């Protein structure tokens, strides 16, 4: 499965630049790299995000061993 790290820089309301940074094979590594890049970035108009192909989303969700979250009591 591929987790692509992308960089988006906003220059104005209608002008954005999106660039590919790198690909990781696990979500944990992708999150680690994204956090590292965010700490190095000093431009407030730049954000990093992780992109996954929609075809892989269901495979990823099925591969997780976690049980679904079931709320048993009301949370205030």
- Give the position of tokens 């680690």: 32
Backbone dihedral region of 50: left (phi > 0), alpha (psi from -120 to 50 degrees) or beta? beta
- pLDDT tens per residue, the chain (76 residues)? 889 999 999 998 889 999 999 999 888 899 999 999 999 988 889 999 999 887 777 777 777 666 666 778 776 6
């Amino acid at each position: 499965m591929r987790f692509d790290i992308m960089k988006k820089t906003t220059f104005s309301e209608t002008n954005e630049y999106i660039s590919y940074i790198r690909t990781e094979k696990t979500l944990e590594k992708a999150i680690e790299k994204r956090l590292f890049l965010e700490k190095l970035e000093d431009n407030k108009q730049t954000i990093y995000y992780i992109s996954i192909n929609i075809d892989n989303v269901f495979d990823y969700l099925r591969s997780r061993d976690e049980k679904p979250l079931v709320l048993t009591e009301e949370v205030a």
